[in-house]
A and B are shown apart, each in its own frame.
Chain A
Amino acid sequence: MMIDFLFQTLWALDATLRVATPLMLCAMAGIFSERSGIVDISLEGKLLSGAFVAATIASLTGSVWLGLMGAICASVMMSLLHGFACITHRGDQVVSGVAINFLASGLTVILGIAIFKRGGQTPTLSSGERFRPIELWFVDALDNVPVIGTIYRELISGHSLLVYVALLCVPIASFILYKSRFGLRLRAVGESPIAVDSAGVSVTWLRYRALIVGGVFCGIAGAYLSISHGANFVREMSAGKGYIALAAVIFGNWRPIRAFWACLMFGFLDAITSRLQDIDLPLIGEVPAQLMSALPYIMTIILLSGFIGRPSPPSAIGVPYKK
């Protein structure tokens, strides 16, 4: 019974980690962009274009690394377009983000059909063309240790490289944001661009850099979707993950570590949804799967309406800076 429960929990946490990986990366991207004062609705589009380019290049060249590089490039290009529209030309950031999401969902399918003629899908990748699970050190040595050995083998070891990259991105993002000069200026430009400008630092370049960093994160997330977690690109495969990541950014109050927990929570909800179907919970009864999948959105709305603490977005967010 005890062992069974342990396995169930491990299984759920393991699935959580897999589902939460793209969320974490996109949330970090969202934090960088939004902390610099640029609303980023386009996480979804960047994720999607990253996923498409990764699968395409991996399938054409057979190299995961080229796929990953391509995904990052594609996603950064989308970021630059976003920047060109709303930093250089001071366009509406939300409108620009929506446009990018449309461009991504149209372009990925059109190019996919033009290249592979499979109705927008890319061919299924062989295992050599994907990021494979990695066995961490000492797995066998620790096997004999009760509980810890199992946890280590099942939960901590055996993920693809990109999962560990995502986990590393969180402390790195936090470090850059709070401990580096770039991070200090980035946070300042999201609060008061005029102050940053009068200190002689370019608002434009700072915001562009924030978007580029975000593009890199989203690109990795996209590659994870199509050449690590999945084995090909399917149309609309991002399926709202970019928006959930945005919700996690808000839930985490625009802070990396808190957003990380929000991603894990949303991932956990997603992971247990399939498990909870047709199971009667005590007191509540059977929970419809749709309610579970809607829960992240409901929670974010409740949070945003200020019923659990006040969210504190960067003060200059959404406002184009005019010198």
Chain B
Amino acid sequence: MVMLKGAFIYPGSLGYTLYYTTNFIFTGLAVATAFHAKLFNIGGEGQAYVGSLGILLATALFAPFLPALFVVLLCIICSALIGAAWAFIPGYLQAKRGSHVVITTIMFNFLASSLMVYLLAGPLIQLGQQSPQSDLIPESAQLASFETFFSLFGIDITSSPLNLSFLLGLFALFVFWVLIWKTRLGYEIRAVGKNQDAANYAGINVPKIIIITMTISGAFAGLLAVNEVMGVQHRAILNFTAGYGFTGIAVALMGRNHPVGIFFASLLFGALFQGGAELDFEFQSITRDMVLLIQGMIILFSGALAYMFNPALSKIFNNITKNGANDD
């Protein structure tokens, strides 16, 4: 109950829940895209982390002379591009050099983390600051929070970190749906995922599709930086990804790689994160770490043990249908 109240009912809590949801939509989509080609992208964490560099780069290059709308768009594109680039290399290595994408994306997570520590504590550190964080990004590149956005229309809502990137998240879900089920590329991605040999014989360039899939996957992950850097923190800080990239795995598995499923799984995890924070507050004995455990359980049961109940269930269903047939 505390968890439910903490996630939806307390003032501002729904905002927090949806803010977490936004993060999970992006990382869930990243993992799901790769899953459709039967690739396992564990690197969402790293791709999102370096995605923030795209934003810093875009603001440095364009903010001084472009209007806010273009700056925001360019920032979004650049964060996706850098995330994509970070996933491109593992994709390329898998497709052309045969190194396994799981191992390389894990390694790339560590590389991203080292790189960001180096940059945030060194070249990019805010002047006169000790803590490793970048300068504030210019106001033209900051995304309005829902609070300011709604106050434009005279509606008052409680302050929360929820910002316009939630809408970007919903848009990304739609793009994902179109991409996977309505385009030729999506068909090829799914074909490679179902059977690489068959796809190859059907004239699909398998290595190319693997590289493209990983790149798109990385782009989705990179967008997480939009929510965190442009929407909430307004700067790149150390470890702002906070494990959201890994949670994306559970989200994608639970959402069955479908946008609607991913949305609801993200909402569930958003509620768990926010409600978990509330639990943290009320009972000192139960913490956020419970969410980690739940995450592990979900990955275990809906991922690794997905087929465990199949024999038993199919037996039951067979019995039911048999009985039904006898009744007729």
Contact = CB atoms under 8 A, between A and B. Distances in A.
B53 to A, nearest CB: 15
B304 interface: yes
Interface in B196-210: none
B300 A85 contact: yes
A89 B307 contact: yes
A98 B105 CA distance: 13
Interface stretch (A156-164, A182-190, A208-216, A295-303): A295-303
A222 B250 CA distance: 26
Contacts of B307: 89-91
A103 B305 CA distance: 14
Interface string B300-323: 100111111000000000000000
B120 to A, nearest CB: 10
A107 B293 contact: yes
Interface residues of A, number: 48
Interface stretch (B5-13, B67-75, B111-119, B229-237): B111-119
Contact of B98 (A41, A84, A100, A306): A306
A158 B101 CA distance: 42
B118 A103 contact: no
Contacts of B60: none
Contacts of A89: 304-305, 307-308
B93 A91 contact: no
Interface in B74-123: 93, 97-100, 102-104, 106-108, 110-111, 114-115, 117-118, 122
A6 interface: no
Contacts of B289: 105-106, 109-110, 113, 120
A305 B290 contact: no
A240 B110 contact: yes
A95 B253 contact: yes
A102 interface: yes
B78 to A, nearest CB: 23
A294 B115 contact: yes
A305 B99 contact: yes
Chain B: number of interface residues, binned into ranges:
35 or more
A61 to B, nearest CB: 23
A76 interface: no
Contacts of A60: none
Nearest to B117: A290
B45 to A, nearest CB: 12
B297 to A, nearest CB: 7
Interface string B242-284: 0000100110010000000000000000000000000000001
A165 interface: no
B107 A103 contact: no
Given A294-B114, A297-B110, A298-B111, A102 B293 contact: yes
Interface centre among A90, A113, A301 (most CB of B within 10 A): A301
Nearest to A298: B111
Nearest to B309: A89
B300 A103 contact: yes
A100 B296 contact: yes
B42 interface: yes
A103 B296 contact: yes
A304 interface: yes
A246 B103 contact: yes
Given A91-B303, A288-B118, A305-B93, 19 more contacts: A91-B304, A92-B40, A92-B303, A94-B42, A95-B249, A98-B249, A99-B303, A102-B250, A102-B299, A107-B296, A114-B285, A246-B103, A294-B110, A297-B107, A297-B110, A297-B111, A301-B93, A301-B99, A305-B99
12 contacts: A85-B300, A98-B246, A98-B249, A99-B303, A101-B296, A102-B293, A246-B103, A290-B117, A300-B103, A304-B97, A304-B99, A305-B99
Task: Please name the 3 residue pairs, one residue from A and one from B, whose CB atoms are nearest each other, closest first.
Answer: A102-B296, A106-B293, A106-B292
